[in-house]
Amino acid sequence: MHADLTAHDRAESARLIERHRRATAGFGDLVHAVRSDEWGLPTPCAEWTVRELVKHVTAENLWMPSLLSGATTDDVGDRFDGDVLGDDPLRAWDVAVAEALAALDAPGALTRAVHLSFGDTSADEYVRQLLADHLVHAWDLSQALDADGRLDDELVTACADWFDAVEETYRRAGVVGRREPVAVDADAQTRLLARFGRSATRFLVERFTHAFNAHDVDAVMR
């Protein structure tokens, strides 16, 4: 990191990078748990199967080295459009993540501006967006796979603190769905997911409907 950063800034940057790594690892653990017959399962993300969800997050990691190095979206173009998972989704994920994390570890990575499609933002804000995406989509993937959906408490708190300042902007832009209602005594994770338009109960109903319409008796019973 740049020498002109204060000790506080360096500590905050290191903390953000470490949190991002944990969020990425949490999603990656679930990717590696996907069985060959589960890639077509529905997820809480409307219209996305497990494969499409993993493809989306993998593509985000593929974009990361270019954007952190100062490239614009026009510079990257359509390089990461289409099926970035190919015939070996696990390897595609691992390679993309390794390159993304290496880019984040480069000296001064968090001191630059990042040129996104909707305008420029700071690198640390960009990384916070990616942390949130990995965290929330990890829950999405866990629900699709019937896996443990408990998220890292510290990451939930960090994500919620960041989201406080951008939630309404994201909602107006249509980036997140409407808030889901929650009980007054709901825990921090449930409240955060509701702010991102997630509801375990709603997805359970959607899964049942999908299984019923597909005449999949085993899935209906599950």
Per-residue pLDDT, 102: 97
- pLDDT tier at 1, thresholds 50, 70, 90: very low
Q: In the prediction, which pLDDT does 22 show?
A: 98
| Residue 85, pLDDT score | 97
pLDDT, mean of residues 120-125: 93
In whole angstroms, give the CA distance from residue 210 to residue 106.
45
How far apart are the C-alpha atoms of 91 and 54, rounded to whole Å? 12
β-bridge partners, 49: 42
Q: What is the 3-state secondary structure of 152-172?
A: CHHHHHHHHHHHHHHHHHHHH
Q: How confident is the model at residue 173 (pLDDT cuts 50, 70, 90)?
A: confident
pLDDT greater than 90 at residue 185: yes
For residue 129, pLDDT beyond 50:
yes
Quick one: pLDDT at residue 130? 97
Q: Which residue has the higher pLDDT, 216 or 66?
A: 66
pTM summary value: 0.87
Predicted pLDDT of residue 213: 58
For 90-105, the pLDDT digits (tens) are 999 999 999 999 999 9
What per-residue confidence (pLDDT) applies to 132? 97
**How large a percentage of the chain has pLDDT more than 70?**
87
On average, the pLDDT of the chain sits at 88
Percentage with pLDDT > 90 across the chain: 64
Q: What is the pLDDT of residues 152-168, one digit of tens each?
A: 999 999 999 999 999 99
List pLDDT tens digits, range 5-18. Answer: 677 677 888 999 99
For residue 202, name the pLDDT band (cuts at 50, 70, 90). low
- Render pLDDT for 34-85 as a digit per residue (tens, 0 to 9): 999 999 999 998 889 999 999 999 999 999 999 999 998 889 888 898 899 9
Count Cα atoms within 13 angstroms, Cβ side, for 87: 0
Q: How far apart are CA 121 and CA 112, in angstroms?
A: 9
Q: For residues 163 and 196, what is the distance between their CA atoms, to the nearest angstrom?
A: 9
